[in-house]
Amino acid sequence: MTTATATHDAHHDHHHAPSGLKRWLFSTNHKDIGTMYLWFSFAMFMTGGFMAMVIRAELLEPGMQFVDPEFFNQMTTVHGLVMVFGAVMPAFVGLANWMIPLMVGAPDMALPRMNNWSFWILPFAFTLLIGSVLMSAFAPGHPAAPDFGWTFYAPLSTTYGPDSTDLFVFSVHMMGISSIMGAINVIVTVLNLRAPGMTLMKMPLFVWTWLITAFLLIAVMPVLAGAVTMVLMDRHFGTSFFDAAGGGDPVLFQHVFWFFGHPEVYIMILPSFGIVSAILPTFSRKPLFGYASMVYATASIALLSFVVWAHHMFTVGLPLAGTLFFMYMTMLISVPTGVKVFNWVATMWRGSLTFELPMKWAIAFVVLFTCGGLSGLMLAITPVDFQYHDTYFVVAHFHYVLVTGAIFSIFAAAYYWLPKWSGVMPSKLLGELHFWSSLISANLLFFPMHFVGLAGMPRRYADYALQFADYNFWISIGGFWFGLSQLLFVAVAVRCAMKKGEKAPANPWGAADGLEWEVPSPAPFHTHETPPLIK
């Protein structure tokens, strides 16, 4: 594709990476900022995971064991918030930071200072949020942390919200500011800084999916800001948005929230599609089966995501016409999603497949994400949803798309690009252990949730009826196993960061295509300072 490797070697590196704390605090380098995002996201993944362990410990056996129900509610709430806003989204932004400038031949992100601001807001926002949990757990008499579920439905968050709700509101404002600025940076980098010759329809699919994701972020994060603002006003300033006595309606909250919330779901999966569409062709040694159809399918999913939000609300008593509209629109999403899944399968069909670590994660993604997609289709059917609503079936569904979907794709991306980031190959032994251990435990953890959900076990309860005891025991075992398995990834990542392992060539996967493989491994501090040639 280019001769960038040669020019890089010849080009004497007069820009040394700045050193010390300032390098990270004052950074304007997309690679350093990407690295910070990725470590932050992993720290949040472990934090949110720890909360999940508390939940699973309490649910190991029926009856109350370790925590009181109030604290259990705080755990489910903050686990969700931390995983969505702290783990999955920042991981994707970190990947975007690292890879998009490399992939489109740009010298850096378009707005480097704003890029650093987007990152540095996050640790402060999560200090506000997690601080309220620590206070609640360790400072006696201190008010509870947010306990209304990550969806913070009114009136749980308004009339009945604990005092910490206000800290939660402001931390969500901050996360929103961070996401919007990050998304603006991605869009502008993609639209304005592509190397000459990198036409839109030549862009890697990871770039395409992130471009569309960024659009979704800019469109819906402000709506979330509106929702938390209305909550704050209702709580303290006498407004009646969610209060029927003043002419408002608690259901209004759900509309505003899910207008954000459903596109948010795709924000957390579209970049995964891009990652998998990069990895499968590499290890199948075949180009992607249908590039253009992938682009159009991604755009269709994004557009449809704006007209399906009320499928989260089938049981609140919507008018029949509305219910039907949202049901059919939701089922329509399975068409472009099917286009994607068939595309991936057709890419692998009759390819010269090899099963290196990224490929293993990517194949697991295709299979298990499809599983989560199918349970989503079941939930889309209104009368069926009446049965499934707020049961563990829903929990199973969204953990299949978010854990074995989004998180698995993030691991796939990490194993795929770690050689480029660190210059060394991730440990095969640890990686294999991490993969198989995660794969088996995740299914032990999430698959039985379908059954207890169908049998009627409600979500977000600290206790359950006796007939669910056996399944819940095994779910909890799967949970602890999955949680512990992630320590293996700590070892993989730390070894790479310490440059321990086999040295990686510029293109360690051989058949990998794309500008990022044209620069040396590890990628130099500055890349593409002069635009690469694109044939």
Partner 1 sequence: MATDKYYIPEHGSPWPVVASVGLFTTAFGAAEFIHQSFNPDSYPGAWGKFVFMAGLAILLVTVTLWWRDTIRESVGGLHNRVLGGSYRQGMMWFIFSEVMFFGAFFGALFYTRWLIVPWLGGAGNNAMTHELLWPNFQSMWPLVMTPDGRATQAMEAWGLPALNTAVLLTSSVTLTIGHHALIEGKRGRLIFFQFLTVLLGISFLSLQAVEYHHAYTEMGLTLHAGIYGSLFFMLTGFHGAHVTIGTIFLIITLTRVIRGHFSADNCFAWEASAWYWHFVDVVWLFLFVCVYWL
From candidates 1, 64, 134, 191, binder to partner 1 by CB under 8 A:
191
Q: How many residues at the interface with partner 1, by CB under 8 A?
A: 75
Phi, psi of 162 (to 5 degrees): -70, 165
> 69-81 vs 112-138: helix axis angle to the nearest 10?
170
Touching partner 1, residues 128-167 (CB under 8 A): 128, 143, 163, 166-167
Sign of CA dihedral 210, 509, 486, 117: negative
Least CB distance to partner 1 at residue 115 (A): 8
Q: Which stretch binds partner 1 (CB under 8 A): 16-24, 53-61, 375-383, 461-469?
A: 16-24
Task: Note whether 248 binds partner 1 by CB under 8 A.
Answer: yes
- CA 172 – CA 117 distance, rounded (Å): 16
Task: Note whether 112 binds partner 1 by CB under 8 A.
Answer: yes
- CA 314 – CA 298 distance, rounded (Å): 26
526 is a catalytic site residue: no
Residue 197 near residue 528, CB atoms below 8 Å: no
Task: Note whether 454 binds partner 1 by CB under 8 A.
Answer: no
- Please identify, using beta-carbon distances, which residue of 222 and 351 lies nearer to partner 1: 222
Least CB distance to partner 1 at residue 192 (A): 5
Task: Note whether 22 binds partner 1 by CB under 8 A.
Answer: yes
For 531, the token pair is 């635009």
Q: Which stretch binds partner 1 (CB under 8 A): 21-29, 296-304, 477-485, 488-496?
A: 21-29
Touching partner 1, residues 215-244 (CB under 8 A): 218-223, 225-227, 229-230, 233, 236-241, 244
Catalytic residue among 262, 450, 526, 528: 262
312 is a catalytic site residue: yes
From candidates 44, 103, 110, 496, binder to partner 1 by CB under 8 A:
110
Least CB distance to partner 1 at residue 223 (A): 4
502 is a catalytic site residue: no
Nearest Cα residue to 361 out of 409, 405, 417 = 409
Helices (H) and strands (E) in the chain, counts: 19, 0
| Residue matched to tokens 């379908």 | 450
22 is a catalytic site residue: no
264 is a catalytic site residue: yes
Percent composition of the chain: helix, strand, coil (DSSP 3-state, to 5): 70, 0, 30
CB burial class (10 A; 0-12, 13-18, 19+) of residue 91? buried
12 is a catalytic site residue: no
For 111, the token pair is 């707005």
- Please identify, using beta-carbon distances, which residue of 169 and 475 lies nearer to partner 1: 169
Least CB distance to partner 1 at residue 402 (A): 24
Least CB distance to partner 1 at residue 25 (A): 5
- CA 531 – CA 535 distance, rounded (Å): 13
- CA 380 – CA 333 distance, rounded (Å): 10
354 is a catalytic site residue: no
- Please identify, using beta-carbon distances, which residue of 101 and 426 lies nearer to partner 1: 101
From candidates 43, 135, 252, 331, binder to partner 1 by CB under 8 A:
252
Least CB distance to partner 1 at residue 220 (A): 7
Alpha-carbon torsion angle 334, 335, 337, 338, nearest 10: 100
Nearest Cα residue to 39 out of 310, 410, 390 = 410
The pattern of x and - marking residues 480 through 509 that bind partner 1 according to CB under 8 A reads ------------------------------
- CA 189 – CA 214 distance, rounded (Å): 11
* SS3 assignment for 238-276: CCCCCCHHHCCCHHHHHHHHHHHHHHHHHHCCHHHHHHH
From candidates 26, 66, 328, 436, binder to partner 1 by CB under 8 A:
26
Beta strand segments in 397-509, E: none
Nearest Cα residue to 278 out of 373, 343, 215 = 343
171 is a catalytic site residue: no
262 is a catalytic site residue: yes
Touching partner 1, residues 297-356 (CB under 8 A): 319
Least CB distance to partner 1 at residue 39 (A): 16
Query: Would you name the residues annotated as active-site residues?
Result: 79, 108, 150, 178-179, 262, 264, 266, 277, 311-312, 337, 340, 459
